Amino acid sequence: MKNKEVSMDRIKEYLSSKLWLSVVIAIIVLCVVFSILSPAFLQWSNFQAVLVQSSITGIMAVGLCFVIMTGGIDISIGAILLLSATVFAYTVNGTESFMLAFLASLSTATLAGVLNGVLVYYFKMAPMITTLATYNIYNGIALHISKTENVPIDRGYTFLGNGRIANIPVPLMILLAITLIGAYLLSHTRFGTFVRAVGDSQVSATESNLPTRRTIVSAYTLAGFTAGLAGVLLISRTAGLQNSLGVGTEFTCIAAVVLGGTALSGGSGSVVGSVFGAVFLILIDNGLNLLQASPFIYDAVRGIVLLAAVSVDRMSTARQAKTLLEQKALRIGSSIIKQVKKTAQA
């Protein structure tokens, strides 16, 4: 009997350590619901479409989750995506070199990330406002370059978005690679450890002599890089630059990261969870689409899901705070704890 309890506790402990568990369950539930409502949902081609669509949000979410784990936020990633796509479109059309365009857009995006990190760290500005400002800057630069014109690119350069290797879509492979790299970075490198440490307490991190500055700047740089990569993938898929590219993705990505179990307050988080979060959100779009819901309702649904995700995050923080208070009450033998116990018994 006692052994059984112990093993149950073990299982519970293991499961609660897997932050992405709830989003995986949510994905399964969603799949069941949609497959009942729409026969088209269960088709392999539909699944593939969902996964390919998720790869753009998923790749960005991996970078973003590091920023959120440091206790920050980056809402400029949607604009970095557009900027990167713009740079790609003009370089590839101008030089007809895929490699040059690829490198140019990724370096631009990475630099944009560095700038975010430097502003947040050195100027001690609130990440929300800082990246709101840089969002406008990057967006403005991109629109200034394109003059809001649509710029088609040659089909020959869209392998990253539409190509297949061994019949597996390339974007999916890139997503897989980025997820693995992200997961490795988080749990096996010093950087990953420091990211969580800084998110737990920047003061303690500084006192423990950790490279706080480098960690924060690197996290924003990573978010910039992944947004840039997503930008190249997206323009490769659409085979042309539109000025609406990437609008609102930052919010989908934040929602994905939070849904995946990363605490908005920083500290604990999960790379894999963030990717699952992205898949979940794309699934909702996909399901709504199959159910022929009005496309104008998508935003509202996304908003509601984000709200739900944030309140789940909030509730778990509140629960932790309450446990601490209760521990204290127990220590001093407060009568309110006795009452709690009594009601529990009754």
Residues 283-322 that bind another protein (CB under 8 A): 320
Residues 162-221 that bind another protein (CB under 8 A): 188-191, 193, 196-197, 199-201, 203-205, 207-210
21: contact with another protein by CB under 8 A = no
Question: Judged by CB under 8 A, which of 7, 17, 150, 316 binds another protein?
Answer: 17
8 A C-beta contact, residue 114 and residue 217: yes
Q: Which is nearer to another protein, 177 or 325 (CB)?
A: 325
150: contact with another protein by CB under 8 A = no
343: contact with another protein by CB under 8 A = no
Cβ-in-10-Å burial (0-12, 13-18, 19+) of 208 comes to: exposed
Report the C-alpha dihedral over residues 192, 198, 200, 206, rounded to 10 degrees: 140
12: contact with another protein by CB under 8 A = no
Kindly state the helix (H) or strand (E) to which residue 253 belongs, with its residue range.
helix 249-259
271: contact with another protein by CB under 8 A = no
Minimum CB separation of residue 23 from another protein in Å reads 19
Kindly state the tokens that stand for 20. Answer: 């992405």
- Those residues whose C-beta lies under 8 Å from the C-beta of residue 331, and which sit 6 or more positions away, are none
Q: Which is nearer to another protein, 291 or 324 (CB)?
A: 324
- Those residues whose C-beta lies under 8 Å from the C-beta of residue 239, and which sit 6 or more positions away, are 152, 153, 155, 158, 161, 162
Q: In whole angstroms, give the CA distance from residue 277 to residue 283.
A: 10
Q: Which is nearer to another protein, 78 or 199 (CB)?
A: 199
Residues 229-268 that bind another protein (CB under 8 A): 263, 267-268
Q: In whole angstroms, give the CA distance from residue 228 to residue 272.
A: 20
Q: Which is nearer to another protein, 5 or 13 (CB)?
A: 13
Q: Which residues of the shown chain bind another protein in the complex (CB under 8 A)?
A: 13, 17, 188-191, 193, 196-197, 199-201, 203-205, 207-210, 263, 267-269, 320, 325-329, 331-336, 339
